Amino acid sequence: MSKVFEPSDSLILNDIMRYRRDVRGNRFIDKALLDETLEQILDAALLAPSVGYSQPWKFVVIQDESIKQQVFDSFCEETKHASTLFSGKKEQDYQQLKLEGIIEAPINIAVFYQPSQKPVLGQTSMAEMGKFSVVCAIQNMWLMARALNVGIGWVSIIDPQKVKEAVNAPQTSELIGYLCVGYVSEFLAEPELKQTGWNKQKHKQDIVFKNKF
Amino acid sequence: MSKVFEPSDSLILNDIMRYRRDVRGNRFIDKALLDETLEQILDAALLAPSVGYSQPWKFVVIQDESIKQQVFDSFCEETKHASTLFSGKKEQDYQQLKLEGIIEAPINIAVFYQPSQKPVLGQTSMAEMGKFSVVCAIQNMWLMARALNVGIGWVSIIDPQKVKEAVNAPQTSELIGYLCVGYVSEFLAEPELKQTGWNKQKHKQDIVFKNKF
């Protein structure tokens, strides 16, 4: 018999999704993450779907301050360049946002995709499916963290090559996500980039189509 | 005050993740999906994280049989080629697997990434972040469907260009996932590719590292 979920279960899931936030360094608090909690978050990753059951993921749990510093240095370099891509008020707004929590979060997790040398079932027509499996694992972690009242922030303004060097990753692996993990002072009621007016929420009727665009 | 989840909530989430399956045509039953249920699944997508709050997703809900047939034709062509990439027993096993439920599922959803013409906050160093946001939306849908006792199968053995043509997608958009959605006769206790021995489950100690590889 397959497990049957109750309507209340989907409401809880909806709440977990709705109250999940991207957490940056101004919200993490100085409190160590329990080992058991970290394991629950990693276990959620391993329950993600993967193309051809390939499980093409690797996770590096980082607490070493010198590694965090190397990643933070890469962020500083990349964000300096990035801010120049925006102009006028957007450039000012960009510079005022806190966009990572690498040092503040007690745990960082670098998540890699390790391509297979053999053909992978389901990945023969769409080569990116392996990477997408790793993203599903990250989203599982993000949701499980929120259900455990733990914050995660995904930092993408970094040079993947520098992160790979910092953690001694094989050249054949690809960095998919760099996560900052820890307890928080608060979860914002809404996404910060919505609250601050950086972008507006899109309406469902503008992004859902019936049969054809 | 931030929402605080109870330990029982994370257990429910763990169950939803654990009992989620990739569903193929031999499990979908001939029963229309309630509109309200479809909306709940789409709403879950819109709660996903997106880089720079860019919400770069578009969803095409497909019920038109002629569109489904075009996508199925593409699957047949792609899978014929794919099966030749495997050899010996793997080739035989491949041919015996049912790998999609395009026609059987009452609803198909094609999920697209629509790149921004302007720079996107957070996507300036890792260009694939926009696509990864769309994958997070798909994983949210998959989990919400399971919580509603609805099955989803992700079909990737298709030519993205043919799917784009079938639904009249803009040339600038990119197909990320093609989902088959419907009620099921059962959810398998374990991933089918694990049960049939196609691939083995990886051990946590082989994929989680401390600080460095």
CB-nearest to B207 from A58, A157, A175 is A58
Residue B38 domain-assigned (yes or no): yes
**Taking a C-beta distance cutoff of 8 angstroms, is the pair B154, B211 a contact?**
no
Residue A157 domain-assigned (yes or no): yes
Taking CB atoms and an 8 Å limit, are A128 and B123 in contact across chains?
Answer: no
Residue-wise DSSP of A78-94: HHHHHHTTS-THHHHHH
pLDDT above 80 (res A1): no
Taking 50 as the pLDDT cut, the residues of chain B under it are none
What would the pLDDT profile of B83-138 be if each residue is shown by its tens digit? 999 999 999 999 999 999 999 999 999 999 999 999 999 999 999 999 999 999 99
Q: If you average pLDDT over every residue of chain A, what do you get?
A: 97
Mean pLDDT confidence for A198-213: 97
Residues in chain B within 8 Å Cβ distance of A88:
none
What would the pLDDT profile of A47-85 be if each residue is shown by its tens digit? 999 999 999 999 999 999 999 999 999 999 999 999 999
Residues in chain B within 8 Å Cβ distance of A156:
51, 122-123, 125-126, 129
Residue A130 domain-assigned (yes or no): yes
- Sheet with B57-62: strands ordered across: A208-210, B57-62, B107-113, B174-182, B151-155
CB-nearest to A4 from B43, B149, B198 is B149
Taking CB atoms and an 8 Å limit, are B40 and A10 in contact across chains?
Answer: yes
CA–CA–CA angle B31, B45, B111 (5° rounding): 75
Lookup result for tokens 């439920």:
B101
Residue B114 domain-assigned (yes or no): yes
**Other CB atoms closer than 10 Å to residue A40's CB: what's the count?**
20
Residue A17 domain-assigned (yes or no): no
How many folded domains does chain B comprise?
Answer: 1
What is residue B1's predicted lDDT score, i.e. its pLDDT? 75
Supply the pTM of this predicted model: 0.98
Q: Residue B146 sits in a domain of what CATH number?
A: 3.40.109.10
Q: What 3-state DSSP class applies to B126?
A: coil
Residue B74 domain-assigned (yes or no): yes
Question: Sign of torsion, CA A38 A41 A46 A47?
Answer: positive
Q: Distance between terminal CA atoms of chain B?
A: 40
Residue-wise DSSP of B150-204: -EEEEE-SS-HHHHHHHTT--TT-EEEEEEEEE-BS---SS-HHHHTTSSPPPPH
For B50, the domain range is 21-207
Q: What 3-state DSSP class applies to A175?
A: strand
As for the ipTM of the complex, it is: 0.98
What would the pLDDT profile of A101-147 be if each residue is shown by its tens digit? 999 999 999 999 999 999 999 999 999 999 999 999 999 999 999 99
Mutate to test the interface with A, among B8, B20, B34, B47 (most CBs of A within 10 A): B47
The C-alpha atoms of residue A164 and residue A110 are separated, in whole angstroms, by: 9
What would the pLDDT profile of A168-194 be if each residue is shown by its tens digit? 999 999 999 999 999 999 999 999 999
Mutate to test the interface with A, among B99, B107, B156, B192 (most CBs of A within 10 A): B156
What does each C-alpha distance from A67 to A108, A173, A179, B211 come to in angstroms?
A: 10, 18, 14, 8
Residue A4 domain-assigned (yes or no): no
The C-alpha atoms of residue A186 and residue A97 are separated, in whole angstroms, by: 17
Residues in chain B within 8 Å Cβ distance of A17:
44, 47-48, 140, 144
Counting every residue written for chain A, the total comes to 213
Q: Parallel, antiparallel, or unpaired for β B208-210 and A57-62?
A: parallel
What is residue A26's predicted lDDT score, i.e. its pLDDT? 93
Taking CB atoms and an 8 Å limit, are B213 and A169 in contact across chains?
Answer: yes
Stretch (H or E) spanning A112:
strand A107-113
Lookup result for tokens 């979060």:
A105
Q: How far off is chain A from B96, nearest CA to CA, in Å? A: 13
What is residue B192's predicted lDDT score, i.e. its pLDDT? 96
Residue B124 domain-assigned (yes or no): yes
What is residue A14's predicted lDDT score, i.e. its pLDDT? 98
Q: How far off is chain A from B52, nearest CA to CA, in Å? A: 7
pLDDT above 80 (res A167): yes
Residue-wise DSSP of B20-62: --B--TTTB-S-PPPHHHHHHHHHHHHTS--GGG---EEEEEE
